[in-house]
Amino acid sequence: MLKYTLKRILLLIPTIIGISLFIFLAMEAASGDFVSTLITEEMTDEEVHALRASYGLDKPVLERYVDYMWNLLHGDLGTSYTSRMPVMELFMQKIGNTTMLAVASTIVCILISIPLGIFAARHRGSIFDNISNVLGVLGLSIPNFWLGLMLIVWFSVQRSWLPPGGNDDGILSVILPAITVGTGHTAILMRTTRSAMLDTLRQDYLRTARAKGVSERKVINVHALRNAMIPILSVALTQFAGCFGGAALTETVFGWPGVGKMVVDAVKQRDIPLACGTLIMKCIIISLIGLATDLLYVVVDPRVKTQFASAKRGKRNG
Amino acid sequence: MGENTVKKKNKNRTQGQEIWFRLRKNIGAMVGLTVVILLILTAVFADVLFDYDTDVIGYEISERKQAPSAEHPFGTDDMGRDLFARVLYGTRYSLSIGAAAVLIGILVGVPYGAACGYFGGKVDLYLMRFIDIIRAVPGLLMGIVIVSALGQSTFNLILAISIGQIVSIANITRASVLTVKNQEYVESARNIGLSEGRIILKHIIPNCLSPILVQVTLGVASAIVSASSLSFLGLGIPVPEPEWGALLSAGRGFIRQYSYMTLFPGLAIMITVLSLNLLGDGLRDALDPKLRK
Amino acid sequence: MEKTINATAAVKKEDPEVVLSIKNLTVQFKIEKEIVEAVNDVSIELKKGKTLGLVGETGAGKTTTALAALNLVPNPPGIIKSGEIRVCGKDVLHMKKKELEKVRGYDIAMIFQDPMSSLNPVFTVGYQIAESIRIHNPGMKKEEAFEKAKDMLEVVGIDRARANEYPHQFSGGMKQRVVIAIALACDPQVLIADEPTTALDVTIQAQVMDMMRDLKEKYGTGTIMITHDLGIVAESCDDVAVMYAGRIVEQGTLDEVFNDTRHPYTEGLFNSLPNIKNRAAKLHPIKGLMPDPTNLPKGCAFAPRCKYATDACRERQPSTRHFSETHIVRCTAYDDPDFMIERSRKS
């Protein structure tokens, strides 16, 4: 299992090289670099050149890239052009907010979707099932950023119950962004739960359990749910990981100071080290969550554990 | 037990009729299909309904920021343009951008995924590793970077969102080719001496079509959302074109007093995406009745 | 669920020796507005320590009858339309859920056909056996139940140390032993074995059958052996009931059904067996297929395939006819006092 963990971590290396190269080349191709946003009309050519040199932007792109990677190898994510602060420091400032949003939306999502999904599966074909199916597709179809805007209209502008943006009001300010991110996730997780439960509910081992005298409540909540949990958990954790990569729009709509908004702004301002460093950190986080998901499988699904064990045994014998 | 009777009833239908029969029973899918057809008609006849120069981009400052009324069902924007005309005309942009992005997705993704699935081994490993790297960049950010690099235009917007489509179509093609490749009928086709080319053309591709078709339907929906997201961030189609995301972005500035400006373009996106999703779900069930049970 | 109480059935005095009695059971399945008559007017009695063989083709209604005995017919689509089922004298069709849970696994237990899918993959086999013990012995400590589960594993010939392993770590035959251990964990009065060896390799089949016979003798469990294998019936059963299209067409003691066969369908079953003494002899399978269960013929369901069938057979349902106190046959042909099937003519 240790070997598997190491392999997963090693796989990050080509990904990091790939995305950083992509950012450098794309920014090179983009019209205008960071310095062009600073230029004013009174500046002479020499001054502009000196300014460019002070950011190292006078060097060719490949040289800059190699420098960046060399520093990265030493654990240095570089310095942001815009704020002149180390990227790592900026990232650490914002990651807390992104994590808070991710955790809040995942909790909302799990609390709503799993009970509803189980209920829909148990009453398959009922009115409730049909309604929740329609709501599920609806939840999938609402564009996140528009939902965010509408929530602001309803709860902040028309009623002023909740703050329209920022993160100055503690738990209150996370509610609307969390609903915005969580709606699509809730819809997906509800559909996953429903189909996983439907799949489990027709398994023969539930009949065995009933024949033993296990009560219907325990048949569903212990025997069926433990099995259905395997795909549900996988989807929920993938979504959780996704919150670190894809909440940029929601963060923009609510002015939520997280890493998603930071990286979008960085690209717009051509702040290469900030964009690149933030992306790399996000990839590492997402990959670690993925690894945790895989390791969690070992706990939830005994079959996976045996696979690991037998792989080890096979190695030893062979 | 009921299988015999079901077969008996349906024995006179071709496969296509059978799928249509199942699709027709799905209310959601039929609603979706109807709305999609209406949207396509709106897109095609948009310039019959409204004159682009006067109704869509021509402005009338005296009529600015009017709430929805009989004359302007969706109200007017800050330049006095009729939002009803703009939203309806926007169907043309959203649908064609979505369709074009998915078309690129098919043209690149299907051969890509098929190669991965069919050849397997090293080819699969390296091609898929490349896809993994692309997937490591969040889709929206990928779009932002590409539009920044290539410049802001409709074509570049389509290109930027087609990346995501290529990835998902390649994935689904690879998965279904992998399943079909190991089926016994492919093995027996090989045993009777069919060439690889014929096997791919005659046996593998037709059997992979259903999941790809479903993915394409859902793909148009997701491409429309991606396009409007980028426009919303100001990286999509330049103003004053009436793209839905751009309308939302424009309306956002007036959200405190004039929230109708953001309500209707968003509703348009949602209805379009919802009907495509309903249709895609219905198609999935109709094409593969096994999945329903 | 619809249930009608059969008023006359309850009159007969209870025989304490009878551990399972099924009277006039009718079960229907509703599939897309069509009604499938899965079980029709079936009556069975099982005495303490005896084994009853329930024989018939796939789809004859054997498993549905068995599930009804535990009130486990899946609903929807299944509905127990009428009939009375008593397990150790207790009416399982008119019971509160809580009482039913106490009967299941304690008075009556079931072994299912496919051991591969009848064990829950995420729990250890020890847990799955102990679960049954704990349900029926409330107050018993977890550890004690687990020890008892280990004892049960030993009873079915599995090392007690394997109690902590998961189902996927066992072979098919071993899994079936675990299923048997679960069923016998609370020493039930009635055991229903639904084709317990069909899914297993031939060599394993014999082992499992031997083990089941030993256990039956040891515990004195009344058993219903559902099978389509007449060999298994001959080896292990005291009584036999032959089912066709949801009805019992012939029932009696093993000797009566095997050596004094009366029903043309039973005869057909014997004729389709290979003859070990004359290997060159041609097999005589029963022609045709079982009728569509949603559209059963008006008369005898076997008539379309029966070589003795007359117009009378096709017109009306056969009535029951007693050839002895225990030997009951449903066949219209015996209205003719001279009628004999070929098998009886030979002997």
Higher pLDDT, C50 or B59: C50
Q: Is A135 on the interface with B (CB under 8 A)?
A: no
Going by C-alpha positions, the residue among C85, C104, C101, C94 that lies closest to residue C45 is: C85
Chain A touched by B233 (CB under 8 Å): yes
Tell me whether residues B2 and C31 touch, CB distance under 8 A.
yes
Distance from CA of C308 to the nearest CA of B (A): 27
Asked if the C-beta of C166 comes within 8 angstroms of chain A's C-beta atoms, the answer is: yes
CB within 8 Å of B28: residues ≥ 6 apart: A133, A134, A137, B278, B281, B282
A225 CA to chain B: closest CA distance, Å?
Answer: 19
Size of interface B-C (CB pairs under 8 A): 17
CA distance C159 to C171: 14
Instruction: Summarize the confidence of residues A70-74 as an average pLDDT.
Output: 87
DSSP string, B97-115: HHHHHHHHHHHHHHHHHHH
The residues, ordered by sequence, that sit 6+ positions from A301 with a Cβ below 8 Å of its Cβ are: A230, C121, C122
| B2: nearest Cα among C258, C35, A248 | C35
Amino acid at B292: R
Query: CATH classification of A90-317, choosing from 1.10.3720.10, 3.40.50.2000, 1.10.150.650, 1.20.58.2240?
Result: 1.10.3720.10
Shortest alpha-carbon distance between residue B25 and chain A (Å): 14
Q: Which two tokens stand for residue C144?
A: 């004690």
Q: What is the mean pLDDT of chain B?
A: 83
B143 pLDDT higher than 80: yes
User: Which of B130, B148, B159, B233 is the best mutation test for A, with the most CBs of A within 10 A?
Assistant: B148
Residues on chain A touching B233 (C-beta within 8 angstroms): 249, 252, 264
Q: What angle do CA A180, A182, A188 make, to 5 degrees?
A: 125
pLDDT of residue C1: 40
**What is the spatial distance between Cα A104 and Cα A185, in angstroms, rounded to a whole number?**
12
Q: What is the pLDDT of residue B276?
A: 94
Task: Check whether B293 has a pLDDT greater than 70.
Answer: no
Contact residues, A window 275-294, toward B, CB-based 8 Å cutoff: 275, 279, 282-283, 286
- Tokens matching residue B25: 């029973």
Q: Report chain B residues whose CB lies below 8 A from the CB of A283.
A: 136
Mutate to test the interface with C, among B3, B4, B6, B25 (most CBs of C within 10 A): B4
pLDDT at A116: 93
Q: Is the pLDDT of residue A304 over 80?
A: no
Taking only the tens place, the pLDDT of each residue in A86-140 is 989 999 988 988 999 999 999 989 999 999 999 999 888 888 988 888 888 999 8
Nearest to C317 by CA among C41, C23, C38: C41
Residue of A nearest to C73 (CA): A207
CATH of B19-38+83-291, one of 1.10.3720.10, 3.40.50.300, 1.20.140.10, 3.30.420.10: 1.10.3720.10
* Residue where the block lists tokens 């093995």: B187
- In this structure, the number of other CB atoms found within 10 A of the CB of residue A86 comes to 16
β-pair type (C34-47, C18-31): antiparallel
What is the DSSP pairing of strand C239-244 with strand C51-55? parallel
Tell me if residue B120 falls in helix, strand or coil: coil
Yes or no, beta carbons of B1 and C32 under 8 Å apart: no
pLDDT for the residue numbered A51: 82
Tell me, yes or no, if C292 comes closer than 8 A to chain B by beta carbon: yes
At C108, phi and psi to the nearest 5? -135, 135
Query: Is residue B254 helix, strand or coil?
Result: coil
* Integer Cα distance of C193 and C209 in angstroms: 11
Using a CB-CB cut-off of 8 Å, the residues of chain C touching A209 are: 120, 131
Whether B2 and chain C come into contact, CB under 8 Å, resolves to yes
What are the pLDDT tens digits along chain C (347 aa)?
Answer: 444 444 444 444 567 778 888 888 888 888 777 888 888 888 888 888 889 999 988 878 888 898 998 888 887 788 888 888 888 888 888 888 888 888 898 889 998 888 888 999 999 999 999 999 999 988 889 999 999 999 889 888 888 899 999 999 998 888 988 998 898 888 888 999 888 887 777 777 887 888 888 888 888 888 999 988 888 888 888 999 999 888 889 999 998 888 888 888 888 888 887 766 776 777 777 887 888 877 888 888 888 888 888 888 888 888 888 888 889 888 888 887 778 777 777 65
Question: Do the beta carbons of residue B102 and residue B95 sit within 8 Å?
Answer: no
Q: Does B7 touch chain C (CB under 8 A)?
A: no
Contacting residues for A206 by C-beta, under 8 A, at least 6 apart: A200, A219, A223, A224
pLDDT tens digit sequence for B78-130: 777 888 888 888 899 899 999 999 999 999 999 899 888 888 888 888 888 88
CB B231 within 8 A of CB B244: yes
For position C188, what pLDDT does the model report? Answer: 87
> Residue B5: its chain C contacts at CB < 8 A?
34, 292, 294-295
- Which comes out higher in pLDDT, residue C45 or B291? C45
Q: Is the pLDDT of residue A318 over 50?
A: no
CA distance A131 to A124: 11
Which tops the pLDDT comparison, A51 or B156? B156
Extract the tokens encoding A67: 């420098």
Listed in sequence order, the residues at least 6 apart from B241 whose beta carbon sits closer than 8 Å to its beta carbon are B57, B93
Quick check: A157 contacting B, CB < 8 Å? yes
Rounded Cα distance, C160 and A226, in Å: 25
Helix residue spans in chain B (DSSP H): 3-10, 15-25, 27-44, 46-49, 83-119, 121-136, 139-150, 154-181, 184-191, 196-198, 205-232, 244-252, 260-287, 289-292
The tokens for B84 are 């009803």
- Contact partners of C by the rule of 3+ C-beta pairs under 8 A? A, B
Mutation choice for A interface testing from C64, C120, C182 by most A CBs within 10 A: C120
Give Cα C80 distance to the centre of its chain. Answer: 17
Per-residue model confidence as pLDDT tens digits over B174-223? 988 888 888 888 888 888 888 887 887 788 888 888 889 989 999 999 99
Residue-by-residue DSSP string for chain A: -HHHHHHHHHTHHHHHHHHHHHHHHHHHHSSS-TGGGT--TT--HHHHHHHHHHTTTTS-HHHHHHHHHHHHHTT---B-TTT-SBHHHHHHHHHHHHHHHHHHHHHHHHHHHHHHHHHHHHTTTSHHHHHHHHHHHHHHHS-HHHHHHHHIIIIIISS--S-SSSSTTTHHHHHHHHHHHHHHHHHHHHHHHHHHHHHHHT-HHHHHHHHHT--HHHIIIIIIHHHHHHHHHHHHHHHHHHHHHH-HHHHHHHT--SHHHHHHHHHHTT-HHHHHHHHHHHHHHHHHHHHHHHHHHHHH-HHHHHHHHHHHHHHHH-
Is the pLDDT reported for residue B170 higher than 90?
yes
Interface-testing mutation among A212, A215, A310, with chain C (most C C-beta atoms within 10 A): A212
- Cα separation values, B62 from A299, B80, C140, Å: 67, 7, 85
Task: Please determine, for residue B3, whether its predicted confidence score (pLDDT) is greater than 90.
Answer: no
Q: Residue C193 contacts by C-beta under 8 Å, 6 or more apart in sequence?
A: C110, C111, C212, C223, C224, C225, C226
* B23/C273 Cα distance (integer angstroms): 47
Distance CA C188, CA C180 (A): 12
Scored b (16 or more CB within 10 A) or e, B27-39 reads: ebbebbbebbeeb
Angle between helices B244-252 and B83-119 (to 10 degrees): 130
The alpha-carbon gap from C292 to the nearest alpha carbon of chain B, in Å, equals 7
Instruction: Say whether the ipTM exceeds 0.85.
Output: no
In which residue are the tokens 């089941």 written? Answer: C212
Report the amino acid identity of residue B20. Answer: W
CA of B158 to nearest chain A CA: how many angstroms apart? Answer: 17
Residue B1 predicted with pLDDT over 60 = no
Q: Could you tell me which chains touch chain A, where touching means 3 or more CB pairs under 8 A?
A: B, C
pLDDT tens readout for residues B210-237: 889 989 999 999 999 999 999 888 888 8
> Buried (b) or exposed (e) across B270-292, using 16+ Cβ within 10 A?
bebbbbbbbbbbbbbbbbeeeee
Distances (CA, A) of C326 to B161, C45, C244: 78, 11, 19
The answer to whether C260 faces chain A, any CB pair under 8 Å, is: no
What tokens were used for C4? Answer: 């009608």
- B52-71: average pLDDT: 74
Sign of CA dihedral B201, B202, B208, B213: positive
Assign A310 a pLDDT band (cuts: 50, 70, 90). Answer: low
Which residues in chain A are contacts of B229 at CB distance < 8 A? 143-145, 249
Domain ranges of chain A: 15-73, 90-317
Task: Name the residue in chain A with its Cα closest to that of C178.
Answer: A208
